[in-house]
Amino acid sequence: MKNKKQNFFYFSKTERNGAFGLLLASILLFILPAYVSRLTRSKTPVDFSAFRSAIDSWESAQSEERPTLPASAALDPNTATFEEIISFGISGSAARNLISYREKIGPFRKKEDLQKLYRLSAAEYSLIEPFLRIGPPGDANPEESVVSPVKPELFPFDPNTASAAALSKLGLPERTVGALVNYRQKGGRFRKIDDLKKIYTLSEDHFNRIAPFVRIDTTGSTDFQRPERTEAEAKPAHYAAADNRPLPVIDINLASAEEWTQLRGIGKVYAGRIVNFREKLGGFCRIDQVAETFGLPDSTFLGIRPQLQLSSIFRKLDINTADQEQLKTHPYLNWKQAAAIVSYREQHGAFGGLDDLRKVLALPAETLEKIAPYLSF
């Protein structure tokens, strides 16, 4: 019996070591949390004041670098120079993007058009938006780009004889004045009020405003007189016929390069460019598209416009089968837009119409409007 009790209270060395380890672990579990908590409380807190001070200094510097502009300051994106644009706090790349856009695409019609610029960040747009003026400051209609800052004067005038200064005083943009004067210098004449619509840079609003004041002398006393030409200024072969010969009229979608050279001011270079542009388009869908030909002066186009006729375009672009290479060769699409069209088509299936194409975010409304006549679905 005694041996049994001794065996019950006897522990081997291994058992004694295990019991000791368990006891030590239990003690540590009770003591360690209190010790760690004490260390945490006694630790010196991190001082972020220097970091906050550095941030405040940086923000202050940024604020100082931002241009301080008077409330009367104005930025016209259609006329501002590179230096003027960046003076409003816009980056150089965004300023170059703006200038490139207006030269290649056309003028900005409203403030929101600037959001199409992929180089102009939302922050930069918010910075300049209060100062944007499409046209001169204080103009009743900020959507129109009028060059003269003075209030337009309306008075009777003859578009066949009015000087450039008089036309500017009427409130016409400088580009329109130049186109009108060039049209007259090339031999053009306005015989009725609606003839002013031949000046394609003349907006409908400007036409409606000045039309009641147009006075065209129909007595013949103010007919445009071409200066006499010397023999050294002999006419080209295709103008050697009599002056009363009917002017040639050509179909802009069918005429060859040689036929284009029959028109005044169109040589082999311009003729080649026009035909090349037409072939890339698939045909002209409007007569005014001829004016988009690279390097063709406005005055030359206005001089030949009455001799141009339009027929149907001869080639359309199948938007559901054309690959990226075919799409990007069209003058109205770039490679990014072509890639976006193909990618969207692969993900969502064939386009059913223009409404589906509008879902491609890379295609602005202006591009869709220009490309629409050339698409087949």
Same domain, 170 and 191: yes
Same domain, 328 and 348: yes
Any domain includes 9: no
Any domain includes 83: yes
Same domain, 134 and 156: no
pLDDT at 271: 92
Same domain, 173 and 122: no
pLDDT at 176: 84
Any domain includes 129: yes
Domain end point (choices 111, 143, 175): 143
Same domain, 212 and 272: no
Length of the chain: 377
CATH of the domain at 190: 1.10.150
Closest CA to 278 of 267, 262, 270, 289: 289
Any domain includes 36: no
Any domain includes 27: no
Regions of the chain with pLDDT less than 50: 63-64, 136-149, 220-242
Could you give the CA distance from residue 217 to residue 41 in angstroms, rounded to a whole number?
99
Number of neighbouring beta carbons within 10 Å of residue 271 = 20
Domain end point (choices 174, 198, 218): 218
In contact, 377 and 320? CB cutoff 8 Å: yes
Could you give the CA distance from residue 95 to residue 296 in angstroms, rounded to a whole number?
26
Could you give the CA distance from residue 205 to residue 201 in angstroms, rounded to a whole number?
11
Any domain includes 207: yes
**Measured CA distances, 155 to 140, 179, 183 (Å):** 19, 21, 22
Burial of residue 347 (CB within 10 Å: 0-12, 13-18, 19+) is: exposed
CATH of the domain at 347: 1.10.150.310
Number of structural domains (the chain) is 4
Number of neighbouring beta carbons within 10 Å of residue 145 = 22
pLDDT in tens, 239-290: 444 455 678 899 999 999 999 999 999 999 999 999 999 999 999 999 999 9
Same domain, 348 and 300: no
Same domain, 267 and 304: yes
pLDDT at 308: 92
Assign 3-state DSSP to the chain and report helix, strand, coil percentages, each to 5: 50, 5, 45
**Measured CA distances, 130 to 70, 85, 112, 125, 127 (Å):** 11, 14, 12, 9, 7
CATH of the domain at 93: 1.10.150.320
The pairs formed by 225-234 with CB atoms below 8 angstroms and a separation of 24 or more are 226/187
SS (H, E, C) 280-304: HHCCCCCHHHHHHCCCCCHHHHHHH
Same domain, 161 and 190: yes
Any domain includes 289: yes
Could you give the CA distance from residue 139 to residue 132 in angstroms, rounded to a whole number?
13
Residue owning tokens 């207006």? 102
Same domain, 174 and 138: no
Any domain includes 61: no
Domain end point (choices 218, 236, 254): 218
Domain of residue 137, residue span: 68-143
In contact, 274 and 236? CB cutoff 8 Å: no
pLDDT at 238: 47
Could you give the CA distance from residue 316 to residue 328 in angstroms, rounded to a whole number?
14
Phi, psi of 338 (to 5 degrees): -60, -45
Same domain, 138 and 151: no
Same domain, 76 and 133: yes
